[in-house]
Amino acid sequence: MRIIPVITALLVSAFLYLLVFERDQLVAFAQGEAAEVTETTAPQAGVATQSDQATPPTGVGVVAIHSVAQTIDSAVVMRGRTEAARQVSVAAETSGLVISEPLRKGTSVDAGDLLCRLDPGTREATLAEARARLAEARGRVPEAQAGVTEADARVREAEINLNAARQLSQDGFASETRLVSAQAAMDAAIAGRQRASSAVAAAEAGIEAAEAAVAAAEREIERLEITAPFAGLLETDTAELGTLMQPGALCATIIQLDEIKLVGFVPELEVQKVSLGAIAGARLTGGKEVQGRVTFLSRSADELTRTFRVEVTVPNADRAISDGQTAEIIVAAEGRTAHLIPQSTLTLDDEGVLGVRTVDAQNKALFMPVTLLRDTVEGVWVTDLPEQVDIITVGQEFVIDGVQVAPTFEEAKG
């Protein structure tokens, strides 16, 4: 009783072997047998034959379409996210206790608005002392300049005495000792003028040092008020009242959302299609669609992913778009000619190359590789095909290159 299932399994295995490995011979055998049956049964059915009757097409029956290439707008599609146009963490530049009430996150601020105010401590006294020293340094300058004037007068007096001593010495009316004394007085007067000039320079340097001290004290007081560098929204609360701030301590984080950036990463094979200023659009996770232009294209690929960063700037005056949303970005590129075909038409050859099977001029099957451009509801857009081509839509999996086909044509989409 068990021999029947065994025989059935053997018959099924033999049929599958013929269907998979001997497909061409099986199809040819089936076609030959069908032809013989037709020739045998036609006279029995009483069907009249005409000598001038057209010979029906021979080959594997397939369904095909006449496809004509069309020009479409090409595009680069990538997944990305939204980023704030600017984001900064505002930190303290000096130390002190916070004496201002905190602002809560989400608050809208303008450029220059106060975020944190620190206790001035003794900084006002330091500034007053620096200003007093500046006034004192400025008072030394007239005194030093008076010393220079007096030293100049002494130099002129010593010069006159030296000239008189030389003249008298030449005429024999003065001794050599007097001439030496006049020369020594001249040297002392010149040295005195140099000291007076140095005193003026020291007084002027004292003024500059005092002015620097005043500027430093004033700048230290200015650092007590931490303000917003640009208009935006507070991403965090400002520092709490009574918090001890140190240089570098965080006061608040501000983001600017009046403009939003769409950030995506394009593969190196498509980076040449993207250009600065190109129109781009995006669909956010909530379904909102936005449009902008490419404002940045990286010229350096990521070392791990080998992709290039692309930034699209989009207006966001109502601040409806938040930072960090997922977005599907489409960047317009130069148009290309392509064929719109059903997705089921695509097949693979023995090497795994994507393509379609076509009907050539001799009604033989021919595989042609294609490049997939875009997937749509109506079908897929492919390129690398001739301007006009007959594409097999049904039966392409049952023929190989060179097999004779009998195509039945249907209307192409698009």
216-240, pLDDT tens digit by residue? Answer: 999 999 999 999 999 999 999 999 9
- Asked whether residue 202 carries a pLDDT value surpassing 90, the answer given is no
- Asked whether residue 277 carries a pLDDT value surpassing 80, the answer given is yes
Tell me, yes or no, if the pTM score tops 0.75: no
Give the CA-trace dihedral at 299, 300, 304, 305, to 10 degrees: 0
Q: How many CA atoms lie within 13 A of 135 on its CB side?
A: 5
Question: For the ranges 80-94, 256-270, 326-340, which has the lowest average pLDDT?
Answer: 326-340
Position 295 confidence tier, pLDDT thresholds 50, 70, 90 = very high
What's the whole-number mean pLDDT along residues 321-338?
A: 86
DSSP classification of residue 255:
E
Q: Is 209 helix (H, G, I), strand (E, B) or coil?
A: helix
Q: Nearest CA to 403 among 32, 61, 22?
A: 61
Residue 409's contacts (CB-CB under 8 Å, 6 or more residues apart) are 63, 64, 65, 66, 390
Contact 391, 406 (CB under 8 A): no
Predicted confidence (pLDDT) per residue in 40-89, tens digit:
444 443 443 444 444 555 788 889 999 998 887 677 889 999 999 899 99
Question: For the ranges 258-272, 329-343, 385-399, which has the lowest average pLDDT?
Answer: 329-343
pLDDT at 101: 94
pLDDT at 391: 92
Contact 270, 259 (CB under 8 A): no
pLDDT at 43: 44
Q: How far apart are CA 413 and CA 144, in angstroms?
A: 99
Domain boundaries, the chain: 1-45, 64-74+336-410, 75-118+230-334, 123-222
One-letter identity of residue 27? V
Phi, psi dihedral angles at 362 (to 5 degrees): -95, 15
Q: Is 327 helix (H, G, I), strand (E, B) or coil?
A: strand
One-letter identity of residue 248? G
pLDDT at 186: 79
Average pLDDT, the chain: 83
Q: Packing angle between helix 23-44 and helix 3-21, nearest 10 degrees? A: 100
Q: How far apart are CA 277 and CA 271, in angstroms?
A: 14
Greater pLDDT, 385 or 73: 385
Q: How far apart are CA 145 and CA 138, in angstroms?
A: 12
Other CB atoms within a 10 A radius of the CB of residue 130 amount to: 19
Structure tokens belonging to residue 305: 């992913």
Q: How many CA atoms lie within 13 A of 384 on its CB side?
A: 12
Cα angle for residues 44, 45, 49 (degrees, 5° grid): 90
Handedness of CA 349, 352, 353, 355 (dihedral sign): positive
Q: How many CA atoms lie within 13 A of 291 on its CB side?
A: 3
Greater pLDDT, 376 or 32: 376
Which numeric CATH code is attached to 123-222?
Answer: 1.10.287.620
Question: For the ranges 159-168, 185-194, 292-301, 370-379, which has the lowest average pLDDT?
Answer: 159-168
pLDDT at 23: 63
Residue 218 buriedness (CB in 10 A; 0-12 / 13-18 / 19+): middle
Predicted confidence (pLDDT) per residue in 133-149, tens digit:
888 888 888 887 888 78
In the chain, pLDDT over 70 holds for what percent of residues?
Answer: 85
Contact 282, 261 (CB under 8 A): no
pLDDT at 175: 62
Greater pLDDT, 47 or 4: 4
Q: Nearest CA to 85 among 263, 287, 276?
A: 263
One-letter identity of residue 203? A
Q: Packing angle between helix 176-222 and helix 123-171, nearest 10 degrees? A: 170
- Asked whether residue 92 carries a pLDDT value surpassing 90, the answer given is yes
Length of the chain in terms of residues written: 414
- Asked whether residue 388 carries a pLDDT value surpassing 80, the answer given is yes
Q: Is 243 helix (H, G, I), strand (E, B) or coil?
A: coil
Predicted confidence (pLDDT) per residue in 165-199, tens digit:
777 667 666 566 776 777 787 788 788 888 878 88
Domain 64-74+336-410, second-level architecture = Beta Barrel (2.40)
pLDDT at 171: 63
Which numeric CATH code is attached to 75-118+230-334?
Answer: 2.40.30.170
DSSP of 280-292: EEEEETTS-EEEE
Give the CA-trace dihedral at 13, 16, 21, 22, to 10 degrees: 100
Angstrom CA distances, 273 to 78, 270, 336, 357, stand at 13, 5, 11, 29
pLDDT at 253: 95
Q: Is 136 helix (H, G, I), strand (E, B) or coil?
A: helix
- Asked whether residue 370 carries a pLDDT value surpassing 90, the answer given is yes
Structure tokens belonging to residue 252: 């608040």
What's the whole-number mean pLDDT along residues 264-279?
A: 89
Angstrom CA distances, 333 to 151, 271, 295, 327, stand at 83, 10, 15, 19
